[in-house]
Every structure is written in C-alpha cells, then in structure tokens.
Chains A and B, each alone.
Chain A
Amino acid sequence: CSESDLGPISLNWFEELSAEAPP
C-alpha cells in the first residue's frame, strides 16, 4: 500500500491520539 491510499502516516500516532482524545 502507498501513503496516498492511507493518507498521511505518523510514526507517533499512539502518543498523538492519546494527547487528542478526551481523558
């Protein structure tokens, strides 16, 4: 799969989603 199929990829997705999600 390529990045264009899946959208921009972040290596730190877990930390970023944890910072954004409601506590």
Chain B
Amino acid sequence: GVAEDLIPVLLDGVREESLQLVSKIKDSCSCCAVDVGAVWWEAAGSRELCVVTAGESAVSLWRPLAPDHWGKVHTWQLGEVPVIQIIPLPDTCNLVCIALGDLEIGEIRLLQVSSENDSLKQSLVKTGNIKAVLGLKDRRLVSSSRTAHEQQVEITSLSETGRIKDGWTLMPPEETVLAFAEVEGMGDALVGTTTVNSIVIWNLKTGQLLKKMRVGYSYPASICHQAYSDSGLLFVVLSHPHAKESESCGNPAFRVVAFNPRTARSTGVMFSSLPPGLTGRQVPYLEGDVKDTSAAAVLTSGTIAVWDLLLGHCTALLPPGPAGSWALARWATNSTCLLAGQRDGTVCLYRY
C-alpha cells in the first residue's frame, strides 16, 4: 500500500509549466552531438556561464551574446579518437574536461585557451582502460581503471591553470567500480557503485576503503549519482537504467536509499518512477543527470522526463519535437537550468 502511494501522479498543467524554453543553440556543423554541458568562463574580466557542446571530433564553447543568442567562441579539434563525454568539473573556470575513447574511455583531456596568446590548448590528464570518472570539488578527478590484473582507483588533483598538481590512489574493491558520487557536506567521503551492485565508501584523504554494502538484488546494475550524510545515515541517489517493472513500486528510474554505514543495512526511502503510460519494457531510460534534488533523463522514446527526487514525482515531460527526439539531458551548474540536446547538435536551454 505504501509503495502504491509513491507512484507519481502527473497533471497536464504541471508538465507544461515546469519547463520554459529560454533559448536555443544550433550548431551549423553537421557532426553528431555526443554531449553538452555548462562551464564558467572568464574573458576580459567578466565571468559568464557558457555552454559546451561536444561532437565526436570537436568540442565548442558558446557564450551568451544577447538574450536568446549564443555565439561560438572556441572550437577544439580532436584527433582520431572520438569524444565520448564532457566531464563536469565543479568550481572551476576556463577548463573543459573531456573523455575520449572507442567503446570505453581511453583518455581524459583538458581543453583550455592560453592566457598568453589566446591559442587553444589540449593536455592529457590520464590514459588507460577507464571504467568510470567523476569531477570532484577542489579541481580533483577520480577515475577507476583496469589493467590485466588489477583495478586502480585514482585521484588526480589539478592546479587552477589545469596542470596536474598531485595524484594518489584509493584502495580498490575487488569488483569494478562503475560510478562515483561525492558525499555532500562531507569533504573527505566518496562513494561508488560496482558491477556486483555494491556501494563502497572511501576516505578520499587517506585512500582507505571504509565499507562495502550490498544494494540488493531487486534492482541490478545500480548507478550512484549523488550522496549526502544526515543523522548518521548515508543517503544515496541510485538509478537503474535497466530496471524492470515490479508490482510493488512501478518502474523506478531513480531511488533514494538510506544506508547505515555502521551496520551496512539499508532501506529504500523514495522511488521516482517512470510516468504512467510510459512504463513497460520498451521505455527504460537511456541516461540521466542528477543535481540538487532534481533528476532528468532521456527515455528510449526520445522524451525527457524530470523528477523531484524528494517527492518521488515526475514533474515535467519534454516529448520529442518536430525536429526529432531528445538525446541528451544535462543540468547546468544547478537544477534551475536544463540543457536538452538533439543528435543534430541543437541544444535547448529550459528554465526549471
């Protein structure tokens, strides 16, 4: 009965009012868009929130020129290895971090503009068989990579100018780490999810692996997006890209799970399910992004869905437009701005 109460109720009015189209970016290059993101960029003494678009072979920076008008100011041309994703780096300025590779990430690069002569720069941060990467606060990157015999979980610390300042390793679990999340309000804590559906907790400063906890078998292949600690419990936002519909709680795209790190016991706090009418095997979600208490994801139908994770409600739906299906959904630096992208390079900015 409790689970049934958590199944979202969607109202037509909510769908229309929650997302307002603010502006649109249309890249004239016909390359296939692979990712979109937002980055703070300072030029001529003023700091602006800019948009980064990534195609397989080029990454472009767009700055706001006028209301509803964006100008492409820089384009970095990449080599033969395709760009896979943009890696957001919180609290940084004038730095774009990207991952390149074929099926998996093979290298991580930083893209910059030289302050001396305005030339475009690229620098290699890491190479390897990289399974997961996340940009952390204080210009740090965490990544998990596999060699033939072992897994390495590594922190790379960057200077303000994008140089590698320091690096150290975290104790790896036996199984491969698939995703990382910082623990909000706990500077030295990091969590990860693994291939066997466990949550691991590290002490970032000492590199210690503090705890490994089972997520449970009900929802395999969980991906962690965000975590915060409160009242002695660790709350983790998990997504289930391949979730199957269950009678007890619908088809949860996201779950908030409370873990007691002392006992490794856990309980589900909130389910954020696919909207009614969109449930069923044919519409698991493709990929999602979580910021603050909001989650956005592209469904295989080409619709973007937005949820309030604390309410467990789907609060907005963006159906595919006449120009085509949505392929990308990313929050800008906070959850008041949603970047919605199509494969042809069109990016729409929505106020949420």
* Chain A: minimal CB distance from B261 (Å): 4
Cα distance A6–B201 in the bound complex, in angstroms = 17
Q: Is the interface of A mostly helix, strand, loop or mixed?
A: loop
CB-based contact A14/B261 at 8 Å: yes
- Interface bits B255-276 vs A (CB < 8 Å: 1, else 0): 0001111110111010000000
Asked whether any CB of chain A lies closer than 8 Å to the CB of B333, the reply is: no
Closest Cβ neighbor of B201 among chain A residues: A17
Sorting the interface of chain A by its residue count into under 10, 10 to 19, 20 to 34 or 35 or more gives 10 to 19
Mark contacts of A10-23 with chain B using CB atoms, 8 A cut-off: 1 yes-contact digit, 0 otherwise.
11011011100111
**Do B269 and A21 touch across chains, with their CB atoms under 8 A apart?**
no
Residue of A whose beta carbon sits closest to that of B203: A18
Q: Is B335 an interface residue (CB 8 A)?
A: no
Q: Annotate B98-114 by CB proximity to A: 1 below 8 A, 0 otherwise.
A: 00000000000000000
How many angstroms from the CA of A14 to the CA of B188 in the assembled complex? 9
Give the A-B pair count, Cβ closer than 8 A.
62
Chain B contact residues: helix, strand, loop or mixed: strand
- Smallest CB-CB separation from B186: which chain A residue? A14
Give the residues in chain B near A9, CB-CB below 8 Å: 231-233, 260, 262
Least CB separation from B189: chain A residue: A14
Contact of B266 among A6, A11, A16, A18 (CB under 8 A): A6
The reply on B229 being an interface residue by CB < 8 A is: yes
Nearest residue (CB) in A for B188 is: A14
B140 within 8 A of partner (CB) = no
- A8: chain B residues at CB < 8 Å are 260, 262-263
Residue of A nearest to B183 (CB): A14
Chain A contact residues, CB within 8 Å of chain B: 1, 5-11, 13-14, 16-18, 21-23
**Extra inter-chain contacts (16) besides given A13-B262, A17-B211, A21-B209, CB under 8 Å:** A1-B267, A6-B259, A6-B267, A7-B265, A8-B260, A9-B233, A9-B260, A9-B262, A13-B232, A14-B189, A14-B203, A14-B210, A14-B261, A17-B203, A21-B211, A22-B208
Chain B interface (Cβ < 8 Å from any Cβ of A): 171, 186, 188-189, 201, 203, 206, 208-211, 229, 231-234, 258-263, 265-267, 269
- 19 pairs across A/B with beta carbons < 8 Å? A1-B269, A6-B258, A6-B259, A7-B262, A9-B260, A11-B231, A11-B232, A13-B229, A13-B260, A14-B186, A14-B189, A14-B210, A17-B201, A17-B210, A17-B262, A18-B210, A21-B203, A22-B171, A22-B208
The 6 A-B pairs of least Cβ separation, nearest first, read A7-B263, A9-B232, A6-B260, A17-B210, A1-B267, A21-B208
